[in-house]
Amino acid sequence: MSSLDELRYDWEQLAEQDALWAILTDATKSGGKWDLAEFMATGKAEIATVMSYLSRINCRPDRKGTVLDFGCGVGRVTQALAPEFAACVGLDISEQMIEKATALNQFRNCRYVASSESRLPFEDESFAFIYSNIVLQHVPTQFAAEYLGEFVRTLAPGGVLVFGVQDNLTVLSSLLKRARKLIQLRSRIKRALGRSVTNMQMYCLPEPLVRTALGNSTIVDIQYTNTGAKDYNGNLTYLPRPRLTGYSGRQYCVVKPR
Ligand SMILES: C[S@@+](CC[C@H](N)C(=O)[O-])C[C@H]1O[C@@H](n2cnc3c(N)ncnc32)[C@H](O)[C@@H]1O
């Protein structure tokens, strides 16, 4: 299996086991305990935070254009983006996530697409705004960098891209991660034996790699975020400095030259 096939396999499993918890991993909500309305409300709050941040930095995407939510899951954030733009597309690697998102869709201007290719199934310059949060942190670094190139390709001139990554892992947390790798290895063995697994991998994408992947698009702003925290739960918060333990989340705001 290629890495993207493996990733799709993992997310199909996660979607089948408990899709909402796989997206927002609140320890108290595992086993189907997320209330759907509460879950979807976190998407509205997240987009309100992002839109008011974009206004504050004077970087407003064209609302008459199309928005892409990359790695949309069940549409938690996509459903909040749809009324803000003329058209809206959610893309996910998992067909089961897309089935669930389609069942929850409330908007005629919104559609969902499953794709596990590193080339996105869209024409050049299709989108006025591309948003992706808590997705690239689960994608192997090489593919995450390729997706950034694809975001630039599919963004219209003057279009805005906002995405979140984990920049790095603190030293103490790195040691803990090594221990966790052993557990992942056990998961791989289980998978080879055909048994079910829940394997949510984490990857970092440091700034030099991000800059190379974005080419001549302009990074207009970078924010530290709480997206690497265990209790993230969709409550997007901009931090004055990187977190001291665990993953260090960053949100980039990028504009494609006209
Ligand atoms: C933690 S969930 C976040 C979902 C959504 N962005 C949200 O915030 O509600 C990560 C999502 O990314 C999707 N995903 C992982 N790798 C992907 C890839 N290479 N391409 C597209 N989607 C991917 C997973 O299937 C999953 O639905």
Per-residue pLDDT of the chain (258 residues; tens, 9 = 90+): 568 999 999 999 999 999 999 999 998 999 999 999 999 999 999 999 999 999 999 999 999 999 999 999 999 999 999 999 999 999 999 999 999 999 999 999 999 999 999 999 999 999 999 999 999 999 999 999 999 999 999 999 999 999 999 998 765 555 566 666 655 544 554 554 444 445 688 999 999 999 999 999 999 999 999 999 888 999 999 999 988 888 999 999 999 999
Ligand 1 contacts CB of residue 156 (under 6 A) = no
Q: Please give the pLDDT value at position 245.
A: 81
Exposed/middle/buried for 187, CB within 10 Å: 0-12, 13-18, 19+?
A: middle
Residue nearest to atom 3 of ligand 1 (CA): 23
Quick check: CB of 71 below 6 Å from ligand 1?
yes
pLDDT at 129: 98
Beta carbons within 8 Å of 133's beta carbon, 6+ residues apart: 46, 77, 162, 163, 164, 227, 236, 251
- Which residue is associated with the tokens 């080419």? 215
pLDDT, residue 195, reads 42
Question: What's the whole-model pTM score?
Answer: 0.92
Lateral strand order in the sheet of 110-114: 110-114, 87-92, 66-70, 127-132, 155-169, 247-255, 218-225, 238-239
pLDDT of residue 198: 57
pLDDT of residue 92: 98
Q: Is 166 in the pocket of ligand 1 (CB under 6 A)?
A: no
Return the structure tokens found at 255: 């504009």
Residue nearest (by alpha carbon) to ligand 1 atom 2? 23
- Separation CA 92–CA 71 (nearest Å): 4
Q: Measure the CA angle with vertex 180, ends 248 and 204; round to 5°.
A: 30
Q: Is the CB of 92 under 6 A from ligand 1?
A: yes
Distance 138 CA to ligand 1 centre (A): 8
CB-side neighbour CA atoms (13 Å) of 53? 21
